[in-house]
Amino acid sequence: MNQYFKIKGKIQPSTSVIIEIAGMVLLICIWFFITSGGRIQKYILPSPIDVLYSLKELHYEDFLIRNALFSIKLNFLGYIEAICISVPLGFLIGLYPFFRSLFGRYINAMRFVPLTAMTGLFIAWFGIENNMKVQFLSFGIIVYLLPVVAQRVLEVEEVYVQTIYTLGANSWKTIRHVYIPYVFSKIFDDIRVLVAISWTYIIVAELINKSGGIGALIFTASRQSRIDKVFAILFLIIAIGFIQDKIFAWLDKKLFPFKYVSSK
């Protein structure tokens, strides 16, 4: 029992799963208790049963699956574009001091831009169709991912660079065999963490033109005071995010197996 409360202690995976399930059951029981018996009105906090029942209406009347797939598509396209832009620019800024001095401070400052206030600019630049939504989501990811890529390049230990130079490698081979493997193994974890950003801004993007998506769906449900639907959609977003995280974890093990080699 002591190992359960030991600072930075470890628990067996099978035991950890049991504790996780117990925690989920406990939270549901607390939720059910505080919403039963009319303690809280359902328009403030619906019961788990109300949320579960709302899924049927969301599926048959609000086309929940189709809207979820639409949002996943927007997120995927935004992320692909953001990665394709952030990675080469991040390498350029991280590798060469000229570009780091030229753009480094301004790119770091971009993180403080209030993205939700820029929807008007994106509408002016890209219109109100789906392309604007993809560009908006992509920009929201770039402002965080680009500085991270540049920082990961700077974190490459000089001993690796000097070693490959000693072996006769030129600049391109150094980038290919040292910087690219190291940086990609690190930013894959960063991308995995940042994947939640696009879901944060999905409601803002999908409110424009309301052509579909669970972001627009959750906004409509909240305007109709259907809090049960709001909770159901939120749980769906969490479930999608959980699945995405598991996929990223699986890909990470396949692409970078050396990260999981035990040091013992």
Report the distance separating Cα 50 and Cα 53, nearest Å. Answer: 5
Structural domains of the chain sorted by starting position, each given as residue range(s) with its CATH number in brackets: 2-40 (no CATH), 52-260 (1.10.3720.10)
Q: What percent of the chain has pLDDT over 90?
A: 19
Segment 46-66 mean pLDDT: 90
**Would you say 224 and 139 are in contact if contact means Cβ atoms under 8 Å apart?**
no
Please give the model's pTM, rounded to 2 decimal places: 0.82
Q: How confident is the model at residue 18 (pLDDT cuts 50, 70, 90)?
A: confident
**Would you say 254 and 247 are in contact if contact means Cβ atoms under 8 Å apart?**
no
Lookup result for tokens 């190291």: 182
Segment 3-14 mean pLDDT: 73
- How high is the pLDDT of residue 1? 57
Averaged pLDDT score across all residues of the chain: 85
pLDDT tens column, 63-94: 999 999 999 999 899 999 999 999 999 999 98
